[in-house]
Amino acid sequence: MPEVERTALYRLYDADDRLLYVGISSMPRTRWQQHASSKDWWPDVATREVEWHETRVGAAAAEAEAIRAEKPAHNRMHNVAPTELLGLLPVIENVPLRPSLKRVERDSRPASQRAAADLRALIMSGDAPLGSKLPTTAEFIEQYRISNVTVQRALATLKEEGLAVGRFGVGVYVTSPTPEHLGDPEVHEVAVTIAGEARPPRRVASALGVGDSVLVWREEAVVEVDGWPVRLITTYRRDSKTTPIPSAHVDYLSVRLPTSAELIALSLPDEVPVMCTFRLGQDSSGSVVEVHSLVEPGHMCQRRYTTPLQ
């Protein structure tokens, strides 16, 4: 569904004017029919309010603010944290276009991948602390009922990702690929690789409020820490003459496998995902003054958010 599509923000109230639900849709009547067939609170709906936005991005931002400020009774998922307000992709409302997804009943990955996944989760959660020794090959064989060759493949995967290191004749230990000074912005080195006017992607054009064919200022940069690439940044502004200072950021996060260019630029091991942040820099009035696209290696970087609940 294109993000430039005119989209409705709707509010549903009960007979006592209590706000029941806030949502967005390009076809609100169709969406209400879906609510009527699936929501047990639908019989309580007495009145409806609709306001139209020119873009889906604008409607989504208004929805997020309405849910945060007005606390509707049945937006349970949305009331948990701002990071849960948006799906990874826009919802397809035209039924024939919906994919046929299948539930996963068993893990069909090779045994070495399953073992590596379990160990990776323990390491990245801190349950297997840095510097601790991993189980021996014999212990792995007994725990996972796999062969010695399979154990070595699992450990090789973790070593390639920088999560484990072997000491000959001693064992394999938990380590971290994260550069030592990642948390110190003063030592980050930013190298601009491309700068100039370019046609923006559709999502960027919509956020900046310009047409797809209008040229905007684009800069691409690589951030290195301790000589290792940790972030790719693409910045878009309406022009190159001003460098705005945003008063707020709105982040859209997603995770996917890297493109070939990203894999090479970040020197990623095979199958390591990247964390993608689509960041809108807003001024005090809420207008978007710049857009950042951040791509970071999923095995090195984390995001921390503090969400006030009152």
pLDDT, tens only, 286-306 = 889 999 999 999 998 887 777
Q: Is 9 exposed, middle or buried (0-12, 13-18, 19+ CB in 10 A)?
A: buried
**Over the stretch 91-132, which tens digit does the pLDDT of each residue have?**
666 667 778 888 989 999 999 999 999 999 999 988 999 999
Structure tokens at 243: 């460098």
pLDDT for 272 beyond 90 = yes
| pLDDT tier, 156 (very low <50, low <70, confident <90, very high otherwise) | very high
pLDDT band per the 50, 70, 90 thresholds, residue 308: low
Q: Is the model more confident about 98 or about 31?
A: 31
Please give the distance of CA 243 from its chain centroid, rounded to a whole number. Answer: 26
Q: Does the structure show a pLDDT above 50 at 83?
A: no
Q: Is the pLDDT of residue 153 over 90?
A: yes
Model confidence over 35-45: pLDDT tens digits?
888 888 999 99
User: What whole-number distance in Å separates Cα of residue 35 and Cα of residue 277?
Assistant: 31
Residue 261 confidence (pLDDT): 95
> For residues 237 and 244, is the Cβ–Cβ distance under 8 A?
yes
Rounded to an integer, what distance in angstroms lies between the CA atom of residue 178 and that of residue 185?
Answer: 14
CB 232 within 8 A of CB 266: yes
| Residue 155 reports pLDDT greater than 50 | yes
Residue 117 backbone dihedrals phi, psi, to 5 degrees: -65, -45
**pLDDT tops 80 at residue 176:** yes
Model confidence, pTM: 0.70
Q: Count the Cβ atoms, other than its own, within 10 Å of residue 284.
A: 8
pLDDT of residue 78: 47
Q: Is 166 a residue whose pLDDT tops 50? A: yes
pLDDT at 97: 76
Average pLDDT, the chain: 87
Count Cα atoms within 13 angstroms, Cβ side, for 154: 26
Q: Decide if pLDDT at 56 tops 50.
A: yes
- Nearest by Cα to 219 from 246, 240, 242: 240
Residue reference for tokens 């971290």: 176
Split at pLDDT 50, 70, 90, the class of 84 is very low
Residue 211: is its pLDDT beyond 70? Answer: yes
pLDDT of residue 95: 67
